[in-house]
């Protein structure tokens, strides 16, 4: 209870810091003239970046921390459900140590991308316009936050597949124990969809090629498929076990029936033990045949479908809002 209280306080503290960061960068962008420059192509690009970059940065960093906490809870629930509590401390400690390294890796990536962009655009100078210098500096936490979020998604999925979904924890009747894992997959995909939904902020009042929209949508689809990798692995393992179990049962029934045919007038089925064996095999076959191969139930499947269409719907809504704003000349 004390640890949960501490986590809630920490989350509130992170949200307050995120709001302060966003408002600070927004105020600085306003002070440097990001919203009062000429609205040509370059001016629109600067204004959109001034609005989008700090917002996506705070969302990415705060969401990455949420992802980590959600992962702790889901993985602990899964280990408890599968009676593997003895591995809880080792696995979660190892997970925590490796996830903490991602922030430094992400910051290094963000700095590298920004430096490479400035170098290729000949913007590595101290006599630039203050607004351009401000935008260049704010790009470092932007790229760092984005990669911090994406690397957390990538590593959490990889860690779950490598350490939790093995033959010792997967069997035909363990689907219900996998609900924490499937909930984690849905949660991660939802957070990824929310993150990608901010992308059109960079396109506001700009002519965006359809190819760019297609590529961003394709990127989200590929990443979402990767996030569902635990679900696909469980389905493959359960389907294989189900097929083998049904094969063995069919062979046992066939053998029993063959023995019955070879016995005159099938007298073998007059023995109560043989009748019970046959009934038990048929019952087991029906139970296995009816068992689900997917760790995601109907409500979770509906959530997955809604998440899958949320990104294009958000872009369509953004296009409508942009049209309304343009018609009323609000910007």
> Helices 130-163 and 41-81 meet at what angle, rounded to 10?
20
pTM of the entire predicted model: 0.78
Domain ranges, ordered by start, for the chain: 2-227+297-327, 239-290
The Cα 268–Cα 274 span in angstroms is: 7
**Res 237: pLDDT:** 78
Report the chain (331 residues): mean pLDDT per 10 consecutive residues. 51 84 91 82 85 92 87 80 61 72 84 83 73 87 90 88 71 73 86 85 76 78 86 81 81 70 50 69 76 66 64 60 56 50
**Res 44: pLDDT:** 85
Q: Which residues contact 153 (CB under 8 A, 6 or more apart)?
A: 67, 188, 191, 192, 223, 227
The Cα 53–Cα 193 span in angstroms is: 17
**Res 301: pLDDT:** 63
Checking phi first, is residue 114 left (phi over 0); if not, alpha (psi -120 to 50) or beta?
alpha
**Res 1: pLDDT:** 42
**Res 2: pLDDT:** 36
What phi and psi values does residue 160 have, to the nearest 5 degrees? Answer: -65, -45
């Amino acid at each position: 209870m004390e640890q949960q209280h501490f986590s809630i306080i920490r989350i509130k503290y992170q949200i307050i810091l995120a709001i302060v960061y966003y408002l600070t960068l927004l105020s600085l962008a306003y002070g440097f003239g990001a919203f009062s420059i000429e609205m040509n192509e370059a001016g629109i690009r600067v204004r959109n970046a001034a609005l989008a970059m700090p917002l996506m940065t705070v969302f990415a960093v705060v969401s990455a921390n949420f992802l980590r906490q959600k992962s702790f809870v889901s993985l602990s629930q899964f280990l408890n459900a599968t009676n593997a509590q003895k591995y809880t401390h080792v696995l979660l400690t190892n997970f925590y140590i490796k996830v903490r390294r991602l922030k430094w890796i992400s910051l290094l990536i963000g700095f590298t991308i920004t430096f490479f962009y400035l170098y290729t655009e000949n913007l590595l100078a101290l006599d630039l316009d203050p607004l351009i210098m401000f935008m260049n500096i704010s790009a470092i936490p932007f790229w760092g936050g984005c990669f911090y979020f994406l690397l957390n998604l990538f590593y959490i999925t990889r860690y779950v597949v490598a350490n939790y979904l093995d033959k010792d924890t997967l069997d035909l009747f363990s689907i219900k124990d996998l609900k924490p894992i499937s909930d984690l997959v849905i949660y991660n995909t939802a957070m990824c969809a929310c993150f990608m939904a901010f992308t059109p902020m960079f396109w506001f009042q700009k002519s965006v090629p359809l190819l760019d929209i297609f590529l961003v949508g394709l990127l989200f689809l590929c990443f979402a498929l990767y996030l569902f990798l635990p679900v696909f692995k469980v389905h493959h393992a359960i389907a294989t076990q189900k097929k083998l179990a049904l094969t063995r049962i069919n062979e046992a029934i066939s053998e029993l029936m063959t023995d019955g045919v070879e016995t005159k007038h099938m007298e073998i089925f007059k023995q109560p033990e043989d009748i019970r064996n046959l009934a038990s095999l048929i019952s087991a076959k029906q139970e296995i045949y009816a068992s689900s191969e997917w760790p995601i139930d109907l409500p979770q499947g509906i959530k997955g479908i809604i998440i899958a269409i949320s990104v294009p719907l958000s872009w369509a809504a953004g296009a409508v809002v942009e049209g309304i704003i343009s018609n009323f000349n609000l910007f």
